[in-house]
């Protein structure tokens, strides 16, 4: 027994090293799982407070661009609301129609921290559970899709952006309606993504717009994602890998909208039940 202790003591430096490294590996593996609560990240209130201070200064740098984006978005929204159309078309008899109930609500949030140069990029926003934000909500901005809420603290949340190796969003080509999944390319370019799983026979033109699909429970259909830059055949497969120029500029994001899909649970539950029924 004594020799054992002596042996342990003689190697305590190496043993301690191995113990700490194992703990680090445990943290890394934990962090790679899609959803979990963790203390060591930027939704931590103290860390987020410091980041907020930095953002306060960074905002000034992008003020002009962000004003421009907001003005463009306002113009787009004005074009869609009723007073720009012929009033005769819009008069409807008053019926309480439950099918026409609002499906999406939007929560605005300020970006307090962001990265675009890492292999896995996140945003931190200044809204959390106290404001009704839950994990796995979609996040968009005036110019397009941003990402998906990953972790939520009381007043802050982190968002896995499209610039993340595990990010996967279903997307379609507006010109012909074919859909695939949008992932981030291996070249870590903050302005481009790859649209996978589009059959090689589907005609794709440079400049075609890509937007979100009806299948996703996270995003409403038709939210802009980007434009096709080039389409290349994936060697050894029947699918094209389409390079998409993202419409969202992640480098100067200031404000984002978190989407709450009020019918999400209904859709999810139904889909799960169907799947279960088919498995039996």
Partner 1 sequence: MIINILQIILRFIVLVAIQVLILNNIQLGGVINPYLYVLFLLTLPVQTPKVLLLFIGFTLGISIDMFQNSTGIHAFACVLIAFARPAWLKLVAPRDGFEPDESPGIKKFGFRWFLVYASVLVLVHHLVIFNLEIFRFSDFWNTQLRVLYSSIFTIVLIIISQYLMHRPQK
On the CB side of 174, CA atoms within 13 Å amount to 15
The answer to whether 221 contacts partner 1 (rule: CB under 8 A) is no
Binds partner 1 (CB under 8 A): choice among 8, 26, 132, 207: 26
The answer to whether 38 contacts partner 1 (rule: CB under 8 A) is yes
CA distance 188 to 185: 6
The secondary structure of residue 250, as a DSSP letter, is G
CA distance 34 to 169: 15
Per-residue x/- track, 232-261, partner 1 (CB under 8 A): -------------------x----------
Q: Which stretch binds partner 1 (CB under 8 A): 10-18, 85-93, 94-102, 125-133?
A: 10-18
User: Encoding tokens for residue 262?
Assistant: 């009020």
The secondary structure of residue 42, as a DSSP letter, is T
The answer to whether 165 contacts partner 1 (rule: CB under 8 A) is yes
Binds partner 1 (CB under 8 A): choice among 66, 112, 113, 142: 113
CA distance 138 to 106: 10
Where do runs of H (alpha helix) occur along the chain? 2-10, 12-32, 45-61, 63-80, 87-90, 264-279
CB of 240 to partner 1, least distance (A): 19
CB of 269 to partner 1, least distance (A): 31
139 touches 147 (CB < 8 A):
yes
Binds partner 1 (CB under 8 A): choice among 107, 175, 188, 229: 188
CB of 15 to partner 1, least distance (A): 10
The answer to whether 217 contacts partner 1 (rule: CB under 8 A) is no
Binds partner 1 (CB under 8 A): choice among 7, 37, 118, 221: 118
The answer to whether 37 contacts partner 1 (rule: CB under 8 A) is no
Binds partner 1 (CB under 8 A): choice among 8, 27, 45, 71: 27
Specify the residue for token string 């008069």: 91
193 touches 182 (CB < 8 A):
yes
Q: How many residues bind partner 1 (CB under 8 A)?
A: 41
Q: Write the DSSP assignment of 101-160 as a string of letters.
A: S--EEEEEEEEEEE-SSSSEEEEEES--GGGT--TT-EEEETTEEEEEEEEE-SS-EEEE
Binds partner 1 (CB under 8 A): choice among 7, 8, 11, 21: 21
The answer to whether 44 contacts partner 1 (rule: CB under 8 A) is yes
Which C-beta is closer to partner 1: that of 42 or that of 167? 42
156 touches 48 (CB < 8 A):
yes
Contact residues for partner 1, defined by CB under 8 A:
12-13, 16-17, 20-21, 24-28, 30-32, 38, 40-42, 44, 47, 50-51, 54, 58, 113, 115-120, 122, 124, 158, 165, 186-190, 251
């Amino acid at each position: 027994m004594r020799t054992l202790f002596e042996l342990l003591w003689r190697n305590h430096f190496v043993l301690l090293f191995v113990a700490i490294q194992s703990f680090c590996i445990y943290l890394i593996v934990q962090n790679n799982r899609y959803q979990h609560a963790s203390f060591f990240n930027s939704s931590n209130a103290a860390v987020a407070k410091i980041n907020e201070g930095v953002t306060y200064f960074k905002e000034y740098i992008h003020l002009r661009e962000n004003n421009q984006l907001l003005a463009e978005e306002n113009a787009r929204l004005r074009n869609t609301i009723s007073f720009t159309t012929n009033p005769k078309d819009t008069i409807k008899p008053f019926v309480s129609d439950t099918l026409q109930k609002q499906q999406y609500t939007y929560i605005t949030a300020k970006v307090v921290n962001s990265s675009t140069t890492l292999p896995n990029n996140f945003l931190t926003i200044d809204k959390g559970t106290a404001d009704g934000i839950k994990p796995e909500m979609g996040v968009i901005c005036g110019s397009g899709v941003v990402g998906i809420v990953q972790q939520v603290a009381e007043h802050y949340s982190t968002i896995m952006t499209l610039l993340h190796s595990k990010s996967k969003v279903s997307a379609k080509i507006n010109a012909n309606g074919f859909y695939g999944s949008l992932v981030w390319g291996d070249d870590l370019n903050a302005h481009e993504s790859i649209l996978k799983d589009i059959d090689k026979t589907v005609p794709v033109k440079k400049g075609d717009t890509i937007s979100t699909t009806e299948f996703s429970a996270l995003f409403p259909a038709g939210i802009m994602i980007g434009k096709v830059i080039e389409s290349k055949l994936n060697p050894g497969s029947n699918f094209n890998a389409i390079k998409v120029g993202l419409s969202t500029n992640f480098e100067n994001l200031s404000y984002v909208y978190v989407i709450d899909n009020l019918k999400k649970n209904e859709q999810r539950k139904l889909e799960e039940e169907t799947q279960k029924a088919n498995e039996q």
